[in-house]
Amino acid sequence: MSSDLVLVTGVSGFLAGHVVRDLLGAGYRVRGSVRDARKGGHVRKVLEAHGADTSGLSFVTLDLMSDGGWQEAMAGVDYLVHTASPFVTHIPKDEGEIIRPAVEGTRRALAAALGTGVKRMVVTSSEVAVARGHGKGLGRPLTEADWSDVEAPDMTPYFKSKTLAEREAWAIMERAGRRDDLTVVNPGFILGPLLDADMGTSGAIIHKMMAGKLPGSPDLNFTIVDVRDVAALHVRAMTDPGAFGHRVLASSGSVGMRDIALALAEAFPAYAGKLPTRRLPAFLVRLVGLFDADARASVRSIGLRFEMEHGLAEEMLGRPLIGWREAATAMAQTLLDQQLV
């Protein structure tokens, strides 16, 4: 057990809730950042409902787009876990709406941490900073040496935001001569149990599937990882020397949307008729994309499949990653438990 203090940014988020639960369970004290001070009380209640002892949890208000409060927030902090970033699937008119908070927030978080003696930093990046912009793929499993190409035409503003923010993180740490004090976690598409009724962007996709809102499954593939694994990797990354200075790819590779629908139909037969188990031709997705922003964004990923090298993640966990079926089923189960479908 460690009573070190960890600053976790974006604690109102899906992933961060699990990270904080694990940290508190391991005895750490957690200072969680929210951009709206009113969210702290809700986060505490949700964690307590899941059995967490929140006596070591406090909150600070920080906005990725504002300089205010970062230095003060880092006072006495041993570890930074920076998860906050806009996570959206739509394509805004101004891509800067997504890119600026991601990049500037990373800069603010790391600069403040470096300036106040924080020991180690863990930053949440994404598979989209590794695996995108390579056309139809590289024909081999992706490794931590691979970077998405921000100039490529299939990069969405979100993909660019994660790639540029992660590049910024490494550049800052290198300039400070402290590369090995950073670990970046690059999760695939995160599923697994929700802690509350806020389904977020991850939950919204499984929700659309369960609620019968998709007419079928296009040839879209997801690199699924379970939120419990991603949270555990963030916690291990703080102290596992094997992860220092590395990008931890967290997912084994692509799973077809239709395979997910079929697995959910098997696990939840009452929803089989609603799940998109039929194939949807690409031209229909393009058609739907004319009026649906999510479909428009996903058109760029149709047909893309890849494998990801995930040995370091499994070494850190000391076991295989949780499988995609379990992750998808666990998320669907919590959507049902929360009466969201």
Residues catalogued as catalytic: 162
Minimum separation from the CB atom of position 101 to ligand NAP (A): 4
How far does Cα 208 stand from its chain's mean position? 19
* Contact indicator for 87, 201 with CB cutoff of 8 Å: yes
Asked if 324 is part of the footprint of ligand NAP (rule: CB under 6 A), the reply reads: no
How far, in Å, CA of 41 to CA of 49, rounded? 12
Asked if 35 is part of the footprint of ligand NAP (rule: CB under 6 A), the reply reads: yes
Return the number of the residue (11 or 280) whose C-beta is nearest ligand NAP: 11
Which helix or strand (DSSP H or E) is residue 40 part of?
helix 39-49
How far, in Å, CA of 188 to CA of 29, rounded? 28
Judged by CB under 6 A, which of 5, 8, 12, 214 binds ligand NAP?
A: 12
Q: Which stretch binds ligand NAP (CB under 6 A): 77-85, 209-217, 288-296, 327-335?
A: 77-85
Asked if 306 is part of the footprint of ligand NAP (rule: CB under 6 A), the reply reads: no
Identify the residue whose tokens are 């089989």: 272
Tokens of 229: 């694994």
Q: What is the dihedral of CA 172, 178, 179, 185, to 10 degrees?
A: -80
* Contact indicator for 330, 193 with CB cutoff of 8 Å: yes
Return the number of the residue (63 or 286) whose C-beta is nearest ligand NAP: 63
Judged by CB under 6 A, which of 37, 49, 65, 287 binds ligand NAP?
A: 65
The residue of the chain with the least Cβ separation from ligand NAP equals 13
Asked if 13 is part of the footprint of ligand NAP (rule: CB under 6 A), the reply reads: yes
Minimum separation from the CB atom of position 299 to ligand NAP (A): 19
Asked if 222 is part of the footprint of ligand NAP (rule: CB under 6 A), the reply reads: no
How far, in Å, CA of 321 to CA of 228, rounded? 10
Tokens of 336: 């049902």
Interacting residues toward ligand NAP by CB under 6 A: 10, 12-16, 35-36, 63-65, 83-87, 101, 124, 126, 162, 187, 189-190, 200-202
